[in-house]
């Protein structure tokens, strides 16, 4: 395994104060630039010398990218807004408690104070073979070291593996997809809006990335429409440690009920695929059904159809089934 050096190589640092300047820098330097949000993921890469950018664009001084604003019953959240601010903000908690709960469960208080929502959804895969610099498919090699007979792969994918079996590590991503969020992206050609469900990509689309962001792109804003404001939410994260850890599996749901009947639902699981895994077939199957144990059992069985576990991660199948059951029938984490 390549050694961990813990010493960063030299780079040119830019600290723009406006979105326009940040976009211009990203455009000018293209693939040579590393866009840094809170820095929580960045410094791991730089200290281990796995990433050696010529330029780092630090967004910490761009005030336009911070803050939470009302938007006709929905919200607009700047990509540089910290996870702590999201977890504590009165409007987020009142309207979109699902996102507040997800943000509160990221890592540790110190990391949430510095880490941003834009960074959390844009972070790269956590596979230790990839992170240690092994020449895997995701690192432009010709093998997936995590998918070999002797691999350590208990945290890897059970769905949609296509050469790479790394998973998406974000806690806020499934919540944003469940809330039908939109991601606003700027580059030198202008601005585009991408539904959160399409913001994340799997290896079959681009094995080198987990999101649609390309060199020159800047995630500026996350928009939450009022559609799911104040609805019934559920978020649960299972990890090895209670703090400072990534999810083995997490689940996010937003639900509309009439009495005990499920009228509408969004159900998203993460930690099982290279992109947050929206359970659209389950959503369709439970609409119009009672929110009860029978429906929960049916949803759980359907949720894991097609799962292909690796040598050490078959436990994710019953774990995911139980999380889906809890999201359907409700539990201690249920809020309205």
Tens of pLDDT, residue by residue over 300-314, are: 999 999 999 999 999
pLDDT at 331: 59
pLDDT of residue 6: 65
Residue 58 belongs to some domain of the structure: no
Is 235 found in the same domain as 194? no
Residues 223 and 203 in one domain: yes
- pLDDT value at residue 47: 80
Nearest Cα to Cα of residue 41 among 203, 160, 168, 146: 168
Residues of the chain predicted below pLDDT 70: 1-6, 331-336
Query: Do 134 and 141 meet the contact criterion of CB atoms below 8 Å apart?
Result: yes
Question: 222 with 233, same domain?
Answer: no
CATH number of the domain within which 234 lies: 3.30.390.50
Same-domain pairing of 221 and 246:
no
Listing DSSP states for 92-121 in one string gives HHHH-HHHHHHHHTSS-HHHHHH-BHHHHH
Could you report the per-residue pLDDT of 24-35, keeping only the tens digit for each? Answer: 999 999 999 999
Quote the domain boundaries for residue 254: 229-329
pLDDT at 330: 84
Residue 255 domain flag: yes
In a domain, 304, yes or no: yes
Judgement on whether residues 214 and 78 belong to the same structural domain of the protein = yes
Same domain, 296 and 196: no
In a domain, 31, yes or no: no
Contact residues for 200 (Cβ-Cβ < 8 A; gap 6+): 121, 168, 173, 177, 210, 211, 212, 275, 276
pLDDT for 85: 98
């Amino acid at each position: 395994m390549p050694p961990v050096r813990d010493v960063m190589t030299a780079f040119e640092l830019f600290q723009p104060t406006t979105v326009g300047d940040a976009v211009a820098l990203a455009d000018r330097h293209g693939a040579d630039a590393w866009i840094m949000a809170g820095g929580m993921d960045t410094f791991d890469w730089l200290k281990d010398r796995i990433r050696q950018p010529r330029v780092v664009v630090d967004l910490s001084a761009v005030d336009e990218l911070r803050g939470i604003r009302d938007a006709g019953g929905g919200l607009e959240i700047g990509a540089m807004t910290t996870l702590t601010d999201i977890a504590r903000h009165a409007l987020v908690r009142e309207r979109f408690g699902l996102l507040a709960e997800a943000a509160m469960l990221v890592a540790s208080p110190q990391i949430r104070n510095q880490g941003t929502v834009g960074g959390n959804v844009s972070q790269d895969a956590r596979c230790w073979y990839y992170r240690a610099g092994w020449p895997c498919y995701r690192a432009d090699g010709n093998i997936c070291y995590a998918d070999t007979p002797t691999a350590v792969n208990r945290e890897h994918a059970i769905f949609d593996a296509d050469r790479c079996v790394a998973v998406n590590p974000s806690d806020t991503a499934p919540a944003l997809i469940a809330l039908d969020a939109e991601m606003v992206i700027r580059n030198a050609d202008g601005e585009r809006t991408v539904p959160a469900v399409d913001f994340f990509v799997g290896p079959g689309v681009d094995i080198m990335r987990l999101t649609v962001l390309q060199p020159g792109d800047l995630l500026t804003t996350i928009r939450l429409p009022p559609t799911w404001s104040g609805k019934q939410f559920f978020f649960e994260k299972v990890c090895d440690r209670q703090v400072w850890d990534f999810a083995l599996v997490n689940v996010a749901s937003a639900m509309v009920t009439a009495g005990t009947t499920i009228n509408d639902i969004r159900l998203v699981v993460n930690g099982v695929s290279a992109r947050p895994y929206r359970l659209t077939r389950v959503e369709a199957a439970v609409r119009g059904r009672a929110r009860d144990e029978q429906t929960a059992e049916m949803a759980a069985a359907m949720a894991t159809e097609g799962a292909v576990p690796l040598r050490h991660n078959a436990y994710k199948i019953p774990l995911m089934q139980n999380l889906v059951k809890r999201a359907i029938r409700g539990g201690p984490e249920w809020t309205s």
